[in-house]
């Protein structure tokens, strides 16, 4: 069989919020070898690569992806047919050059990522390797510690909770399946606790419960109740937050719990929470341009808690380099569609690890049944993955893929 890309196909499919997204098929030597679907965020950072939307308000509320699909089947296909499918770097570089913009505005990061990931799958299939091993090579895989977002707020829920994600992080276990089981049992325990307090309603975009709470800190209390209610100790299961604070940063102040506070005051609140709760990780504690507060917080509590840049770094080496320079964070969130190609994602993760920073591979709030990120997390030995609550198939699909991979990969080590 030849290793040459013989064609690409693309279509619109739906994501978990009922919005259009892009699916790409990669043909090698006339046979369909790779397929991938592209995720989509809600609390998107200003510096993310551009997701191309048609903007025709009469269709799909302006969110159609016909232009992105056309870009795949027209100009991208024309540029890539004849390329060896396992030369991922060359494939991504050709697309970057064809796009010709710094933020993928021309072809669309959704079009490019769909192709990039479909080619990755096709390359793995060509070599008859599981995707995680194709990504990781001889280094072998490492199962990640899962972060399960069991209480949703912010832009992902219709509640009064400002913090976007309250996650359990089962770090004190010997294997991935045991850790996952513990995290899932916390999800069920949280349901019971919320029900007992009359707070059980719907769920948010990532499958976690979405109660109204008297204050954001009450969410931390519920996480402890969930952990202990499931029969575990806070020594073995910790808490991770995604504050997604860019969403409530306005006029130089953070608007949380109905008050306007400064970055320093917010940093003091986090320090208090680190003292009082088993809080292991805080993502986007500060806004995407508030570098000063990030660095201040790092100096204050960076040796005691993981501080993760999501909107801050947008999975891009340029933004990450700024953060390394200013010592703004000690970890990076990795979202493939923030940068738009597999190669650039891997480069960003390399830069992070070269500077001793942790990587957390992540889904988006708008997802599909695509499970590429599960293999990516294992193959890159990232060590951590966040992919929502253990509810709703778009989230569970990733955990199930990790369970499959864990039949082959036993190495599991907590970064905490
Ligand atoms: P998003 O949320 O996909 O809506 O951006 C996830 C996150 O902020 O980490
Ligand atoms: Zn985030």
Please give the pLDDT value at position 158.
94
Please give the pLDDT value at position 286.
98
Q: Which ligand is nearest to the CA of 205?
A: 1
Residue with tokens 């893929």: 401
Residues 65 and 42 in one domain: yes
Residues 346 and 267 in one domain: yes
- Residue 413 resides in a domain: no
- Is the pLDDT confidence value at 1 over 90? no
- Is the pLDDT confidence value at 196 over 90? yes
The CA 43 to ligand 1 mean position distance, Å, reads 5
pLDDT digits (tens, 9 = 90+) for 184-193: 999 999 999 9
Among 98, 128, 158, identify where a domain stops: 128
For residues 353-368, average pLDDT: 98
Distances in whole angstroms, Cα of residue 167 to Cα of each of 28, 227, 230, 304, 319: 41, 11, 15, 18, 26
Sheet holding 5-14, edge to edge: 5-14, 20-28, 31-37
Residues 253 and 363 in one domain: yes
The CA 4 to ligand 2 mean position distance, Å, reads 37
Residue with tokens 């970055």: 263
- What's the domain count of the chain? 2
pLDDT digits (tens, 9 = 90+) for 202-226: 999 999 999 999 999 999 999 999 9
- Nearest atom (ligand 1) to Cα of 333: 9
How many C-beta neighbours within 10 Å does residue 139 have? 11
Ligand 1 is surrounded, with C-beta below 6 A, by 41-44, 242, 244, 310, 362, 364-365
Distances in whole angstroms, Cα of residue 176 to Cα of each of 37, 123, 133, 179: 26, 27, 17, 5
pLDDT band at 403 (very low <50, low <70, confident <90, very high): very high
Among 108, 128, 148, identify where a domain stops: 128
Residues 269 and 146 in one domain: yes
Domain hosting residue 355, numbered range: 136-406
Q: Determine the longest span between alpha carbons in the chain, in angstroms.
A: 64
Q: Which ligand is nearest to the CA of 364?
A: 1
Residues 163 and 233 in one domain: yes
What angle is formed at CA 366 by the lines to CA 76 and CA 277, rounded to 5 degrees?
130
Among 101, 128, 155, identify where a domain stops: 128
What the block records as the tokens of 314 is: 């947008």
Please give the pLDDT value at position 187.
98
SS3 of residue 404 by DSSP? helix
Residues 254 and 378 in one domain: yes
Please give the pLDDT value at position 230.
98
- Residue 415 resides in a domain: no
- Residue 377 resides in a domain: yes
- Nearest atom (ligand 1) to Cα of 39: 3
Concatenate the DSSP letters of all residues of 389-403 into one string.
-S-SHHHHHHHHHHH
- Residue 414 resides in a domain: no
Residues 159 and 13 in one domain: no
- What mean pLDDT value characterizes the chain? 98
- Nearest atom (ligand 1) to Cα of 41: 3
Residues 274 and 359 in one domain: yes
What angle is formed at CA 97 by the lines to CA 93 and CA 99, rounded to 5 degrees?
115
- Residue 25 resides in a domain: yes
pLDDT digits (tens, 9 = 90+) for 103-145: 999 999 999 999 999 999 999 999 999 999 999 998 889 999 9
Residues 263 and 372 in one domain: yes
What the block records as the tokens of 114 is: 């769909």
The H or E element containing residue 296 is: helix 291-301
Indicate which CATH number applies to the domain containing 113.
Answer: 3.30.390.10
- Residue 411 resides in a domain: no
pTM metric for this prediction: 0.98
For residues 156-164, average pLDDT: 97
Residues 270 and 316 in one domain: yes
Asked about 228 being catalytic, the answer comes back as no
Please give the pLDDT value at position 139.
86
- Residue 320 resides in a domain: yes
| Catalytic, out of 335, 347, 367, 398 | 335
* Ligand 1 pocket, mutate which of 147, 167, 315, 365 (most atoms under 8 A from CB): 365
First to last CA, the chain: 46
Residues 233 and 379 in one domain: yes
| Catalytic, out of 185, 206, 283, 347 | 206
Asked about 386 being catalytic, the answer comes back as no
The CA 309 to ligand 1 mean position distance, Å, reads 12
Residues 118 and 233 in one domain: no
Indicate which CATH number applies to the domain containing 343.
Answer: 3.20.20.120
- Residue 363 resides in a domain: yes
- Is the pLDDT confidence value at 380 over 90? yes
């Amino acid at each position: 069989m030849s290793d040459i890309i013989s064609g690409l196909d693309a279509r619109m499919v739906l994501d978990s919020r009922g919005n259009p997204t892009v699916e790409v098929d990669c043909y090698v030597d006339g046979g369909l070898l790779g397929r991938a679907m592209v995720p989509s965020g809600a609390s998107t950072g200003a510096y993310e690569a551009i997701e191309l939307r048609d903007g025709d308000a009469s269709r799909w509320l302006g969110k159609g992806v016909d232009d992105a699909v056309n870009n795949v089947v027209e100009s991208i296909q024309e540029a890539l047919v004849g390329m060896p499918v396992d030369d991922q770097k060359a494939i991504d570089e050709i697309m970057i050059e064809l796009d010709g913009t710094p933020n993928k505005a021309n072809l669309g990061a959704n079009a490019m990522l769909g192709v990039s990931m479909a080619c990755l799958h096709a390359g793995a299939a060509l070599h008859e390797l599981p995707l995680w091993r194709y990504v990781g090579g001889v280094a072998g895989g490492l199962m990640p510690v899962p972060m399960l977002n069991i209480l949703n707020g912010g832009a992902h829920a219709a509640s009064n909770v400002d913090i976007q994600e309250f996650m359990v992080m089962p770090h004190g276990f010997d294997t991935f399946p045991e850790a996952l089981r513990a995290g899932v049992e916390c999800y069920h325990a949280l349901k019971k606790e919320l029900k007992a307090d009359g707070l059980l309603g719907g769920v948010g975009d990532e499958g976690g419960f979405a109660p109204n709470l008297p204050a954001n800190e009450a969410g931390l209390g519920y996480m402890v109740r969930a952990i202990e209610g499931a029969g575990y100790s806070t020594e073995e299961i910790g808490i991770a937050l995604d504050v997604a604070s860019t969403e409530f940063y306005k006029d130089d102040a953070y608007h949380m719990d109905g008050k306007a506070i400064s970055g320093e005051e917010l940093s003091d609140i986090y320090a208090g929470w680190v003292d009082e709760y088993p809080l292991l990780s805080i993502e986007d504690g500060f806004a995407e341009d508030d570098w000063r507060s990030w660095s201040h917080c790092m100096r204050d509590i960076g040796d005691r808690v993981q501080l993760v840049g999501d909107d801050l770094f947008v999975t891009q080496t340029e933004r990450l380099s700024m953060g390394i320079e200013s010592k703004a964070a000690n970890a990076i969130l990795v979202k493939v569609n923030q940068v738009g190609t597999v190669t650039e994602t891997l480069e960003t993760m390399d830069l992070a690890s070269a500077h001793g920073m942790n990587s957390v591979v992540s889904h988006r709030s708008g997802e599909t049944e695509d499970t590429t990120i599960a293999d990516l997390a294992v193959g890159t030995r990232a060590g951590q993955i966040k992919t929502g609550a253990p509810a709703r198939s778009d989230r569970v699909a990733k955990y199930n893929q990790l369970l499959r991979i864990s039949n082959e990969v036993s190495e599991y080590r907590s970064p905490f």
